[in-house]
């Protein structure tokens, strides 16, 4: 049996570990992308919640239906949230 020196041992270790590191890095990138997407969705949800509150107040002052104001306010708030976060990411 042939004796392996330090350089050969390092090369063998790299050859064995390289595919695993590549897969691990890919999984870490995927987890980071999912976490960033979830954070964006949560920020948009806060915009929608604020828009719902504002829509409810506007509907009450205007004499319209409360539920209609909440729905439209939430839709407008979420649209503003997506647009604001899109510009912040760019």
**What confidence score (pLDDT) does residue 20 get?**
74
- Residue 43 C-alpha from the chain's centroid: 9
Tokens of 6: 């330090």
- Across residues 28-36, what is the average pLDDT? 93
State how far the Cα of 34 lies from the Cα of 22, in Å rounded to an integer. Answer: 19
What is the value of pTM for the model shown? 0.66
pLDDT tens, residue by residue, 48-63: 999 999 999 999 999 9
Name the residue ranges covered by the structural domains of the chain: 6-89
Distances (CA, A) of 31 to 18, 25, 38, 46, 67: 20, 10, 11, 23, 38
Closest by CA to 48, choosing from 3, 85, 21, 11, is 85
């Amino acid at each position: 049996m042939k004796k392996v020196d330090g350089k050969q041992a390092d090369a063998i270790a790299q050859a064995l570990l390289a595919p695993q590191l590549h897969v691990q890095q890919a999984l870490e990138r995927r987890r980071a992308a999912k976490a960033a997407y979830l954070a964006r969705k949560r920020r948009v949800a806060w915009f929608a919640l604020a828009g719902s509150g504002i829509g409810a107040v506007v509907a009450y002052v205007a004499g319209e239906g409360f539920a209609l104001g909440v729905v439209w306010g939430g839709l407008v708030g979420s649209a503003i949230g997506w647009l604001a976060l899109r510009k912040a990411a760019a």
